[in-house]
């Protein structure tokens, strides 16, 4: 590294640290209080509180409780935006034939063997993150992005055509993606539908029973914390995110010639 480059680097670092110092002194606007704020206190108090059953959520994990229970509608629309982005990617690649025919040039046998082990290990970690999302840090989106790493590895090491030959065609991945989103939508209105059928009062995104709305998802089963709707939301989000990312990676890994031939027509 030359002396001039080192000078540039050191001045960037000095600039960032002086900016951080000014910010910490309150020079760029008022600072938030250091202690836990009232809203955070309320969330921490109500995430798992058997003494206030009408106000609390159903898992130990505050972040999952906020994401899928206290602020569930926001996350639902976020998932819908992600789905729209995937639809846009498919629309750009319309008409391009994605087949598994032809030779694949993969990597060396060492890389292949290591990847074969990871194909089992990484989805196991992802499933534990998704299914324990209401107890430990994690959740559907986290698990989905972890599981996508396996797809990246398969496409890089074995080739895209190997993935398609194993049965992961575009239509099938899109089916999983839609099933995940339908599951999220159904879980959001499940209690409302049950309430309409039984003639009881109920809300959308209802997890636990509320005053004058006695229906709710099961909180405990045989002493085990089920997490109510949090578990279902995490599971369906896991499926939806994994399939969505897989589809985008599959489309992006297509060869330039195949896509250009269709687009220029």
Partner 1 sequence: MIEVFTLAFLMLVSVASVVAAYLAIRERDMVKAIVYSAIQSAMYALIFYVLMAPDIVLVYIPVSVGITPAVLLFVTKKTERYDGD
Q: List residues near partner 1 by CB under 8 A.
A: 5, 8-9, 12-13, 16, 63-64, 129, 137-139, 141-142, 145-146, 148-149, 152, 155-156, 245, 248-249, 252-253, 256
Query: Rounded to the nearest whole angstrom, what is the least distance from the CB of residue 198 to partner 1 in the complex?
Result: 36
CB of 86 to partner 1, least distance (A): 14
Report the nearest approach of partner 1 to the CB of residue 195 (Å): 32
- Output the CA torsion 38→40→46→51 (10° steps): -50
Question: What are the helix (H) ranges across the chain?
Answer: 3-24, 38-46, 62-65, 72-92, 109-131, 140-157, 160-165, 170-198, 229-252, 256-263
Nearer to partner 1, 201 or 253 (CB): 253
State the SS3 of 88-129: HHHHHCCCCCCCCCCCCCCCCHHHHHHHHHHHHHHHHHHHHH
Q: Which is nearer to partner 1, 61 or 195 (CB)?
A: 61
Instruction: Pick the closer one to partner 1 by CB: 14 or 182.
Output: 14
Between residues 88 and 198, which has the closer beta carbon with respect to partner 1? 88
User: Quick one: residue 167, left, alpha or beta (phi over 0 = left, psi -120 to 50 = alpha)?
Assistant: left
Minimum distance from residue 34 beta carbon to partner 1 (Å) = 12
The minimum distance between CB 153 and partner 1, in angstroms, equals: 9
Cβ closest to partner 1, residue 120 vs residue 197 = 120
Neighbour count for residue 42 (Cβ, 10 Å): 12
């Amino acid at each position: 590294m030359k002396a001039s480059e080192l000078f540039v680097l050191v001045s960037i670092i000095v600039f960032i640290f002086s900016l951080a110092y000014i910010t910490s002194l309150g020079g760029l606007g008022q600072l938030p209080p250091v202690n836990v704020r009232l809203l955070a206190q309320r969330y921490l108090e109500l995430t798992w509180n058997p003494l206030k059953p009408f106000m609390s959520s159903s898992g130990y994990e505050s972040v999952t409780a906020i994401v899928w229970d206290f602020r569930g509608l926001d996350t639902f629309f976020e998932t819908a935006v992600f789905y729209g982005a995937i639809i846009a990617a498919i629309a750009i690649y319309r008409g391009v034939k994605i087949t598994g025919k032809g030779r694949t040039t993969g990597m060396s046998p060492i890389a292949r063997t290591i990847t074969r082990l990871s194909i089992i290990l990484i989805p196991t970690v992802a499933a534990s993150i998704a299914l324990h999302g209401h107890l430990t840090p994690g959740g559907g989106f986290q698990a989905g992005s972890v599981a996508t790493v396996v797809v990246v590895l398969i496409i890089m090491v074995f080739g895209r055509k190997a993935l398609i030959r194993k049965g992961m065609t575009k239509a099938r991945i899109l089916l999983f993606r839609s099933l995940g989103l339908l599951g999220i939508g159904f879980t959001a209105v499940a209690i409302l539908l049950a309430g309409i059928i039984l003639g009881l009062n109920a809300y959308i995104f209802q997890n636990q029973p509320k005053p004058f709305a006695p229906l709710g998802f099961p909180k405990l089963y045989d002493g085990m914390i089920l997490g109510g709707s949090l578990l279902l939301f995490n599971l369906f989000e896991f499926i939806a995110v994994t399939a969505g990312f897989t589809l985008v990676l599959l489309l992006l890994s297509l060869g330039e010639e195949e896509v250009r031939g269709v687009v220029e027509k």
